[in-house]
Structure 1
Amino acid sequence: MIVPAPATVRQAGVVVALEGAALVVVAVVLVVRAIGGAHEKAISGYGTAAWYSVMGAGVIAAGWALWTGRRWGRGVAVFAQLLLLPVAWYIAVGSQRWAYGVPLALVAVGALVLLFSPSALQWASATAQDPASADNSGPDTR
């Protein structure tokens, strides 16, 4: 049963989908650079692009799931935001690129605030109480 997602969950879905789209754009840039002859000793532009494409597709799927009211997208979205926070820290503090790291951290924290808002938690707990959910160990009585 799909319970309509509240506005906060749908907004988080948009943010998460845009993050996934950014990963796909980075993958395209890496492929274009590799085709243009930019080669690095430590990494493969094509391999990194493939990795970013797969991760971007997964994050886009999570954003779509949130937009359409599917609860599984919330876990993927929260995980992605929690992974972005140390990346933002490294960019801001480790690389001294505050202009990139701080906005990235703000986006990740903003998405987490949306995903843990009272309406989002109520939505997540309401769908978890579906009698036909996997959490129910009894027989299906539909």
Structure 2
Amino acid sequence: MTKGDEQQDDRQVGGGIPATVRAAGALVTFEGLAGVGTAIVLIVRAATGHDQSVASGIGTAMWFAVLFGGVLAAGIGLLRGKRWGRAIAVIAQVLLLPVAWSLLTDSHQPLWGSLLAILVLATLGCLFAPATSRFMALDYGELPDEDEHRA
């Protein structure tokens, strides 16, 4: 990696937060909102009698609200430059990969599976980008000079 590539990789937006962290935060926030929105839909369906079992609909809604509420919090945290959001975001992406695969294969939903796979892979790319890793490492003190490790 040349110096020019390294500088381009470290593009930062307001407050010294790299663009890759902000992009990951936006994508994870979108996922969290989709999950919380699903929870709301499930509650409305249960309340209006569209589900066979009200308890099952509300239970599933609570499950979605808790899990994706955490994902939403992680996305907002990343947007604000909070380092703790990365771990939750990575776990969420790893758990969504089999969902994308299932949509692509057994569920016969290639459009939704493809869209989810693209979203998950793009998010993982942002979460593990060099600029993101350097930003996350700043919390642990000074980074070692790369030239020392090459010798």
TM (norm. structure 2) is: 0.79
Q: Who is 1:16 aligned against?
A: 28
Q: Distance in 1 between matches of 2:29 and 2:47?
A: 27
CA drift at 1:110: 0.2
Say whether 1:70 aligns with 2:52: no
- Give identity over the alignment, percent: 44
Work out whether residues 28 and 49 of structure 1, in 8 Å CA contact, stay in contact via their aligned partners in 2: yes
Query: Structure 1 unaligned runs (5+)?
Result: 131-142
| Length, aligned pairs only | 127
CA drift at 1:37: 1.2
Q: Distance in 1 between matches of 2:62 and 2:97?
A: 23
Query: Structure 2 unaligned runs (5+)?
Result: 1-14, 143-151
TM (norm. structure 1) is: 0.84
Q: Who is 2:37 aligned against?
A: 25
CA drift at 1:38: 2.1
Quick check: which one's helix share is greater? 2
Structure 1 residue ranges, 4+ long, deviating more than 6 angstroms after superposition: none
1:124 to 131, 136, 140: 136
Q: Who is 1:85 aligned against?
A: 97
Work out whether residues 4 and 68 of structure 1, in 8 Å CA contact, stay in contact via their aligned partners in 2: no
Cα deviations across residues 114-134 of structure 1 (Å, max 9, x unaligned)?
01111001111122237xxxx
CA drift at 1:69: 1.2
RMSD value over aligned CA atoms?
1.6
* SS at structure 1 position matched to 2:60: helix
